[in-house]
Amino acid sequence: MLYMVNKSPLMYGSLKSALRIAQAGDPILLYEDGVYAAAQGAASEGLIREALQRHPVYVLQADVEARGLSRLVEGVQTVDYAGFVELVEQHHVVPWL
């Protein structure tokens, strides 16, 4: 399963909820305001570091750039739109709204 999170972790518990039910190895894709979770120094940095021990974590590069984020938690992978489509093609998708 690919868990897609688009809400800021500062305002919503979407990421925490998705991580609670995701199986080890299931990828997590952060997009739109969800990319704030992967910013170095963010309140959610510990949560992302913990998630990286069990899941590959991706962020959509265009959303990172649109929000002016320059430093991501080490281990978080960026994907462009082609990479986004590839992830969706390879997994069942669970949009976590």
The answer to whether 69 and 34 are in contact (CB under 8 A) is no
pLDDT exceeds cutoff 80 at 5? yes
First to last CA, the chain: 15
What is residue 10's predicted lDDT score, i.e. its pLDDT? 85
User: What value does the mean pLDDT take over residues 18-36?
Assistant: 96
The answer to whether the CB of 35 falls within 8 A of the CB of 28 is no
Kindly report the CATH number assigned to the domain that includes residue 46. 3.40.1260.10
Structural domain range at position 75: 2-96
Q: What is the pTM of this model?
A: 0.94
Structurally, the chain folds into a number of domains equal to 1
Over residues 3-12, mean pLDDT: 92
pLDDT band at 97 (very low <50, low <70, confident <90, very high): low
